[in-house]
Structure 1
C-alpha cells in the first residue's frame, strides 16, 4: 500500500532501498528555506542496520503488510529464540537480534505476536505489561514516602528500573515493556 512520505509513523514497516525497514523515530522538520520534510530513523528488519532518511510529503513509500500470529515463548539459547504455535505445535526459531533488547522481558510460557512477511518471521510484539519481581533495592528512608521520589531496583530478569520508595525486595511489580518503567504493584 502506497503512503505519503509524511504519513510514516513509528512502528510502520516500509519497503525502501530493496529491504524492509521499521520506522523507529520520526521528526517533522520545517527549515527556513525549502519545503518541510520528515526525518525518519529506520532499522532494517533482516540485518538490524540503521538508516536515517528524509521523506518529503510529495514522495510516496510502500508500506509493507505484515501478518501477525500468536506464538508461545519456549526458550532462548545464545543467539536463537524458540517459539511455538499453540494450535499446530509447530516451533520456529527467530534470531535474537530481531527481538533486540526486548528479549529481557520474555518469560516461560509468555504469549507474544510474531510478525511475518511472506512467511518469513521478522519480529516479535511483546505484551504491553509484564510482571517481574524486585530482587534488589535500597531500603526505604523514613519520611521519604511523601515526596514523589523513586529509587533504583534490580528485577529478577536482571533489568534496572526506578520504583517508588514503598516497593521492597520480593515484591512483584508490573513493568511497561515499551519504556521499561514501573507501572504499579502486581495484584
Structure 2
C-alpha cells in the first residue's frame, strides 16, 4: 500500500529499491524556502545494512502489509530452526542467527505468532509466559548484597544466563 512520506513512522516496514526495510528513525523537517521532507533511517531486514534516505513530503513509498500466522516451533536442524504452520502443517525454516535473541525462550512445541511477507519470516511474537528450567544459580548469602541491586545469575539448559 502506498503511503505519503509524512506518514512514515518508526518500525514501519517499507518495500524500497526492491528490498524490505524497517524504519529505525524518522525526522520530519519543514524548511522555510523549500518543501517539507522526511529524513528516514532504515535497516535492511535480510542483510542488516543501514540506509539514510530523504523523501519529499509528496513522495509515495510502499508500506508492507505482514501476514500473521500461528506456528509451532518444531525442531532444530543444524543451523536452521523449523516451524510448522498450525493450519497447513507446511514447514518453514529460518536461520538460527535470525532469532538469536529469542532462542533462550524458544522451546520445542512452543506456539508463536509469526509475521510473514511473501512466505518469509520477518519477526516472531513469543508467548507472554514460558516455563524455563534453571540448572545452575549463583548462591546468595544473607547480607551479601544491598537491597535493590542486581541479583545473581541463573543458567538455563541452553546455556543462556537469565
TM-score (norm 2): 0.74
Q: Cα 1:5–1:53, aligned 2, differ >3 Å: closer, same or farther?
A: farther
SS at 2:93's partner residue?
A: strand
Give how far 1:16 is off. Answer: 0.9
Q: Cα 1:3–1:160, aligned 2, differ >3 Å: closer, same or farther?
A: farther
Q: Cα 1:101–1:6, aligned 2, differ >3 Å: closer, same or farther?
A: farther
Q: What do you get for the CA RMSD once the two structures are aligned?
A: 3.2
1:101-120 alignment, distance < 5 Å = 101-118=101-118, 120=119
Give distance in 2, aligned partners of 1:38 and 1:144. Answer: 51
- 1:99 and 2:99 aligned: yes
Give distance in 2, aligned partners of 1:92 and 1:79. Answer: 13
Contact kept, 8 Å, 2:115 with 2:121, in 1: the verdict is yes
Contact kept, 8 Å, 1:73 with 1:111, in 2: the verdict is yes
Q: Cα 1:84–1:42, aligned 2, differ >3 Å: closer, same or farther?
A: same
Q: Tell me, which stretches of 5 or more residues in structure 1 are unaligned?
A: 162-187
Corresponding residue for 1:52? 51
Q: Tell me, which stretches of 5 or more residues in structure 2 are unaligned?
A: none
1:14-33 alignment, distance < 5 Å = 14-23=14-23, 25-26=24-25, 28=27
Give distance in 2, aligned partners of 1:6 and 1:155. Answer: 46
**Which one has the largest radius of gyration?**
2
Give how far 1:85 is off. Answer: 2.1
TM-score (norm 1): 0.66
Alpha-carbon displacement from aligned partner over 1:13-48 (angstroms, at most 9, x marks no partner): 21011111223x325476x9986744424133xx32
Which has the larger share of strand? Answer: 1
SS at 2:103's partner residue?
A: helix
Q: Cα 1:11–1:104, aligned 2, differ >3 Å: closer, same or farther?
A: farther
